Amino acid sequence: MNLTLNIWRQSDPESPGNFDVFNVSDVSPDMSFLEMLDVLNEGLIVHDEEPVAFDYDCREGICGACSLVINGSPHGPQKATTTCQLYMREFSDGEEVWIEPWRVGAFPVVRDLVVDRSAYDRILQAGGFVSVRTGAAPDGNTIPVPKDVADRAFTSATCIGCGACAAACPSASASLFVAAKISHLGLLPQGQTERNSRVRMMLAQMDKEGFGHCSNHAECQSACPKEIDIGRIARMNRDLGRSFIRRT
């Protein structure tokens, strides 16, 4: 299949960017989206042109490194899928594809489609941890955790921190990411001691990084490759309110 690609090019964070048009031919429907870009870049390198910079790491949908807003949707048109797990069979022959970086002020563009997501790392450093020593893995059932609570903590923990939630949010808010991390730790017994300070520190850091404020558009949960839902955000709001009422 043949495709027309409109790709955002930007040489550094300060200079303005623009779309470059590329025509790629003989794309196999079984290629992943990133493999298609690899083929494009090989061609560019052969012709002594600058290849398109984009982020990737595991290519298994579990690391959160790949990004790309494809035809207006973070991680492309398929639900619950990272860009690396998106296959070209989702596109039709002759289609025009628009590829942009995450457009979030707190994620400055480094080059082309690569953005700096260290704002998420700093939010985690502010409070996304448990500092009590938990030792080696305990024997099963020594600390009883109800099954549904464990499940909710686990689904929250599936967040890979890719940034699609902030990229999809009309307000460029990081709420779903922060909320997932807070639920992941705050639902389990080990996370209780720092429950109040965690929600406060992480939210204070989120505001400081210059993300927007959640306006309940719910775009984040439909863009999330791990399908984390906005119920986490409701829980985060409850947790913050609770921190003003209860000491621990």
Partner 1 sequence: MSKSTVITRDTALPSAWRYSVMRKVFMAISGMVLVAFLFGHWAGNTVLLDGELAFNEYLVWLQRHPILHYGVWIVIAMALLVHLAVGPSHWLKNRRARPERYYKRKYRATTWAARTMMVSGLTLLLFICVHVAQVRGWLVFGASDSVFRNLQTGFTRWPVTTLYVLGQVALAFHLYHGVWSLFQTLGAHHPRYNQWRRPFAVVVGLGIAFLNIALVLLNIDAVRAVLR
By CB under 8 A, name the binding residues for partner 1.
Answer: 17, 19, 69, 71-73, 77, 98, 100, 103-106, 118, 122, 125-126, 168, 170-173, 175, 197, 200-201, 203-219, 221-223, 230-231, 233-238, 240-241, 244
Of 43 and 231, which CB lies nearer to partner 1 in the complex structure? 231
Spatial separation of the C-alpha atoms in residues 114 and 15, rounded to whole Å: 14
Report in angstroms how near the CB of residue 136 gets to partner 1 at its nearest.
28
CB of 127 to partner 1, least distance (A): 8
CA separation (Å) from 53 to 16, 97, 139, 175, 241?
16, 17, 47, 28, 43
The residue (of 29 and 105) whose beta carbon lies closer to partner 1 is: 105
Q: How far apart are CA 80 and CA 146, in angstroms?
A: 27
Q: Is the distance from CB of 113 to CB of 103 less than 8 angstroms?
A: no
Looking at beta carbons only, is 143 or 234 nearer to partner 1?
234
Closer to partner 1 by CB, 64 or 212: give it: 212
Question: Are 131 and 191 within 8 A, CB to CB?
Answer: no
Residue holding tokens 């985060």? 236
Compare residues 88 and 236 and give the one whose CB is closer to partner 1: 236
Other Cβ atoms within 10 Å of 71 Cβ, number: 14
Q: Three-state SS for 84?
A: helix
Cβ atoms 2, 23 nearer than 8 A: yes
Please state the closest distance from residue 233 (CB atom) to partner 1, in A: 7
For residues 110 and 65, the answer to whether their CB atoms sit within 8 Å is no
CB of 85 to partner 1, least distance (A): 18
HSE value, Cβ hemisphere, 13 Å, CA-based, for 95: 14
The widest CA-to-CA distance across the chain, in whole angstroms, is: 64
Of the two residues 29 and 170, which places its CB atom closer to partner 1 in the complex? 170
Q: How far is the CB of 138 from partner 1 (least distance, A)?
A: 28
